Structure 1
């Protein structure tokens, strides 16, 4: 049996300890041993459809869960049935006979919905392929990371959901194989998965980032690029105010030449103490992409990883001693982030997958972000620092850059994006500081969106305003995929209803 119940009704808490489902009945979807991926997911999809029918008869809502990673409550629902997909995690090669004429099968892989980002990356790298972007962590399931719009940070790339080329989604009314109107997989392959093809550009754009509201994702077709190397440079440097203008204008080469290497970077990250940001050193991180070779001097995981866990060690201090925020923040940055290598160190390299971090749980850490048009960066940054100087707050401010992402509800929706993260101790003081930032950006007329999986303080009216026509298209695609309101309600929760996604 690919789908089994895990004990009696009880309490479930997410990975980071930030949300709890009460009176939840847990089930697990598990991989089998079918030699072909299409046969495996056909069996699983039928089991999921039967499970949905049983949930409806029991008058229980459902919530699919991957790694339970989201720090927000977007994956939380009580008095419901939870479906854990983590052990449904096989990956399969795709052959030329499986795709439509003109499609290159070499860059594609069939992925079961519970496969972690790390597992997908490892499988691709074993085939000489690579993801081209991802978030900082590798502990999410690939489907879960895409479902909430986990942003990458490669300057010329969008989010992790951009890799998705096709999706198998199970609803009470059927098993759907969703892909672009131009088509991807052969009709015979789709039939073997037990699915009905739905080739529609809007529906695939909705399914790339479904926020858990479009049914149960059981499989994905993931795209890739040839494997490549990245060289990391990391240092603590005081950043000149004028340099923000260079970043806002997209002059990353000039910024890199001033603070790292005189060449075009592929990744730029700036972690700033918002108290006296131009007088205290910022933590700067650059990645430079190079062609693959086997004989490279290998970087350590600490040199390649993003190092976002440092503040979780000092978070409580930052909240308990607000008078020392500036100094303690700087100490945290120096202790946690300044591991190099800098420009004078011997060059070291790693694959993209080698740079993915596994985080410890973030129960004591507050996570929030805004994504803005990169052109607004200098003005927005000044406003954010003014809020902290006037009202307090115990978070660092992290700035990264990316292109417009795919998916109708992708937060990175501007032509060029600056993603600004706020990480610090989980407390009322920290949450209030973020709320004041949001209020100030609104008051100044700076457009922004928020990360679905972080503390986002969103409601349906604001979602509709932020996403406009794309929100209307997403809801229209949802209604085509799940036309029966009773079936849509099966995937509802207080959180998703509040966002206007399931009502």
Structure 2
């Protein structure tokens, strides 16, 4: 399983077109045909370590690339060596003898770093298992989604990195297998992966969300739950201002009873036009988990409510006609987001994976978000809409809810979180509106964090302030794993350097 060189030095542009690496030499790590996953990992990890050594000798920075999904440009570095892992994507079952006593091997799967969230989900469902959360789309690699703190979407769960039970990371000086102190895999299994075993809670909490700065992640052990069904309800409803107070208090049942079904929802999403948000209908989406049964009628992603980015189709109009922005945003929402089943429609069901369609960008999109303490929702929402009303910007405002996520650098770090996304056409006006949003939240003293993979208006001082002692612990764990400064610098980029993650 040698690492292949893909052509001459040149340019590489990320998936969303927000950044380009210049003078980059592209390489690829691809899966082999070993019968057992541990053998694959041993071969692959040695190849990666050798590749890192050659990059160090050539005085090149390195950047592992999965789906190239992140629009924040954390993965953009010129004069570098890029390692494409997308075809290093096999998934393996884990046997009872490969885990420690008391660990449920049937719930676990060994995943190579290039496997997409969608691929991991499909493999688990073939085995009668399921992921329990994910972001809004499944086109990221699982390792990349975890590395950047992709927020979850189930109201009683945390982030996607909460699925991770063990991690293999390669640095210039070693091949490392990192687990919580309690342990997961047998020592014999870890030895056969060619790794040094670390059972350390702090190191594991750092490696769950490494933001690409702790080495090359080559594999993950992913946890799961028994497969379940979800029933979606999606509609356009005018939401009363007081309903935000129900969401802020975590009274999802009351909100669901008012706008969908009178039962406890497992997922709540509210897409709002920030121009007159309580006069124009909001796009609401609920998911209700139900026990698995094999005889449910199959539905397409569209029938389950998966939409597309109508905002991208209207991007030029939204930016060119600011006087009509509110009406155009509402038209985009109606066009692109209201296709799912409503309360009075025949019920449709799908697995968790079937209800999440892989996102395909249709235009030049802007993506940003803030995560706040759920209790601050009503006040923060009022401030955000006031900024848009005064200064413009062509994004909708999306609200989702989740619990505290694992990982020292998890943006969802409050006990109960409201994640507020801003998605729309990319333009200077839209970027300025988001910058004004974060300035206003700061001015009002509302604590918040930002998604590592999105446009985030962050710097090193703000990262240190937002994450406090957890940031210090993350840096201490990184320094234990990569003790030499010249080795840490290899994994940097202009963005990561500015955030204080590689110094």
Give the TM-score, by structure 1 length. Answer: 0.99
- Distance (Å, rounded) in 2 between the aligned partners of 1:435 and 1:304: 35
Q: CA deviation at 1:306?
A: 4.1
Mapping 1:230-309, distance limit 5 Å: 230-309=230-309
8 Å Cα contact 1:491-1:502 kept in structure 2: yes
Mapping 1:421-432, distance limit 5 Å: 421-432=421-432
Aligned residue number for residue 389 of structure 1: 389
Q: CA RMSD in A?
A: 0.9
8 Å Cα contact 1:146-1:209 kept in structure 2: yes
Q: CA deviation at 1:299?
A: 2.9
* Cα shift readout 1:413-472 (whole Å, capped 9, x = no counterpart): 000000000111100000000001000000000000000000001110000000011101
Aligned residue number for residue 148 of structure 2: 148
- Distance (Å, rounded) in 2 between the aligned partners of 1:490 and 1:313: 39
Q: CA deviation at 1:494?
A: 1.1
8 Å Cα contact 2:177-2:197 kept in structure 1: yes
8 Å Cα contact 2:18-2:72 kept in structure 1: yes
8 Å Cα contact 1:2-1:31 kept in structure 2: no
Aligned residue number for residue 380 of structure 1: 380
Mapping 1:8-407, distance limit 5 Å: 8-361=8-361, 364-407=364-407
- Distance (Å, rounded) in 1 between the aligned partners of 2:375 and 2:241: 15
- Distance (Å, rounded) in 2 between the aligned partners of 1:280 and 1:198: 54
8 Å Cα contact 2:94-2:109 kept in structure 1: yes
Moved over 4 A (4+): none
Aligned residue number for residue 436 of structure 1: 436
- Distance (Å, rounded) in 1 between the aligned partners of 2:286 and 2:213: 36
- Distance (Å, rounded) in 1 between the aligned partners of 2:341 and 2:403: 27
Sort the Cα spacing of 1:486 and 1:362 in 2 relative to 1 into closer, same or farther, 3 A.
farther
8 Å Cα contact 2:306-2:340 kept in structure 1: no
Q: CA deviation at 1:304?
A: 2.6
* Cα shift readout 1:279-326 (whole Å, capped 9, x = no counterpart): 000000000000000111233201335425221111221111111001
* SS of 1:312 mapped into structure 2: helix
8 Å Cα contact 1:269-1:400 kept in structure 2: yes
8 Å Cα contact 2:61-2:80 kept in structure 1: yes
8 Å Cα contact 1:18-1:363 kept in structure 2: no
Q: CA deviation at 1:137?
A: 1.1
* SS of 1:358 mapped into structure 2: coil
8 Å Cα contact 2:256-2:263 kept in structure 1: yes
Give the TM-score, by structure 2 length. Answer: 0.99
Q: CA deviation at 1:234?
A: 0.4
Q: Runs of 5+ in structure 1 lacking a partner?
A: none
Q: CA deviation at 1:362?
A: 5.9
* SS of 2:88 mapped into structure 1: coil
* SS of 2:276 mapped into structure 1: coil
Aligned residues: 503
Sort the Cα spacing of 1:390 and 1:140 in 2 relative to 1 into closer, same or farther, 3 A.
same
* Cα shift readout 1:262-293 (whole Å, capped 9, x = no counterpart): 00000000000001110000000000000000
Q: Runs of 5+ in structure 2 lacking a partner?
A: none
* Cα shift readout 1:388-407 (whole Å, capped 9, x = no counterpart): 11111111100000010011
- Distance (Å, rounded) in 2 between the aligned partners of 1:216 and 1:126: 29
8 Å Cα contact 1:118-1:139 kept in structure 2: yes
8 Å Cα contact 2:305-2:340 kept in structure 1: no
8 Å Cα contact 1:2-1:32 kept in structure 2: no
